[in-house]
Amino acid sequence: MHNTDPPFEGIGVDGKKQAVETLREFLAFPLNRTDGIFRRFAELPGATSFGEGRRQVLFVPGSRPIDSGRCLLVAHADTVWDDWPAGETDGSEVHPVLVERNGVIRSGTRKHGIGADDRAGLAILWLLRGLGHSLMITDLEEVGRLGSKWLRDHEPSFLAQINRDHAFAVQFDRREARSFKCYDVGTRGFRRHVAQATGFSEPDRRAFTDICTLCSPSGPVMRMCGTNLSIGYYDEHTELERLVISEWLRSFEVATRWLSTPRLPAFRQTRDERPERGQAMDAG
């Protein structure tokens, strides 16, 4: 019985300050490198890496009992500025120029954005690492989800096991505030659950991110549902990219409350709501 658990009181003023410090740390990583980020998550207990070169993912197993709802939390380490200037990179690090004013972080140069897509998502994963959910860090999402596709294509039984063991997947890799997308890896029931738990809404089902691949293992296996949450960045992929700190904090707080729930139901993609063959797996 869990009726003695205290109600969630919010993360508090100090919690918010510390969270924003973590956000700044993650935004400071070089835009065109992912090795420092992978090293940081690799320190966590049980962390295992998969892949070849930059076609890689890192998995950190959660400690919550599977039958009370262990989730897979996902963010990508690469930015769209990975190969910048396009085709001319000399291998040296490209550092973001962060300017913070009136609660908004933006780029102090017209040459590139700030990489909030998806370093702001990684910061949330780092902050949620104590909740007992599993973490997955992917690479090369921006050039076609090459890290998560490597896992699907080379470790099919491991990805099938991940789909069996997790209640659902939550990625933190979406622009704007208060919205979510389940693409083709949600069901009506899961969408209702996400909307209720977050207060966010789903504008449409277009586009792709890693969960489209991670929740679509090959073979006739159980597929978990997945969703991608807004984390407060805007105009990603342009030099005008910016992050509204209060919106990022709201998503962090909403996710903390939701994912701290002692029991989370598991959501599986059902056959009649499954995408048409190939639709979710091959585009992008």
Task: By CB under 5 A, name the binding residues for Zn ion.
Answer: 117-118, 173
CA dist 284 and 281 (Å) reads: 9
Q: How buried is 254 (Cβ within 10 angstroms: 0-12 exposed, 13-18 middle, 19+ buried)?
A: middle
As measured in angstroms, the least distance from the Cβ of 236 to Zn ion is 7
CA dist 39 and 34 (Å) reads: 9
As measured in angstroms, the least distance from the Cβ of 141 to Zn ion is 6
- Considering the complex, state which of residue 81 and residue 193 has its C-beta at the smaller distance from Zn ion: 81
As measured in angstroms, the least distance from the Cβ of 121 to Zn ion is 7
- As given in the structure block, the two tokens for residue 210 are 């890693």
By the 8 A CB rule, do 180 and 194 touch? Answer: yes
As measured in angstroms, the least distance from the Cβ of 118 to Zn ion is 4
As measured in angstroms, the least distance from the Cβ of 147 to Zn ion is 12
- Considering the complex, state which of residue 38 and residue 266 has its C-beta at the smaller distance from Zn ion: 38
As measured in angstroms, the least distance from the Cβ of 63 to Zn ion is 27
- Considering the complex, state which of residue 118 and residue 241 has its C-beta at the smaller distance from Zn ion: 118
Q: Which of 187, 272, 271 is nearest to 226 (CA)?
A: 187
**Phi/psi-derived region of residue 128, left when phi > 0, alpha when psi is between -120 and 50, beta in every other case:** alpha
Element (H, E) at 134: strand 134-138
- As given in the structure block, the two tokens for residue 193 are 């659950």
- Considering the complex, state which of residue 208 and residue 268 has its C-beta at the smaller distance from Zn ion: 208
Q: Which of 7, 151, 136 is nearest to 70 (CA)?
A: 136
By the 8 A CB rule, do 87 and 96 touch? Answer: no
Q: Which of 76, 75, 80 is nearest to 114 (CA)?
A: 80
CA dist 77 and 8 (Å) reads: 30
- Considering the complex, state which of residue 82 and residue 173 has its C-beta at the smaller distance from Zn ion: 173
- Considering the complex, state which of residue 141 and residue 184 has its C-beta at the smaller distance from Zn ion: 141
CA dist 260 and 173 (Å) reads: 20
By the 8 A CB rule, do 38 and 280 touch? Answer: no
As measured in angstroms, the least distance from the Cβ of 261 to Zn ion is 26
- Considering the complex, state which of residue 82 and residue 118 has its C-beta at the smaller distance from Zn ion: 118
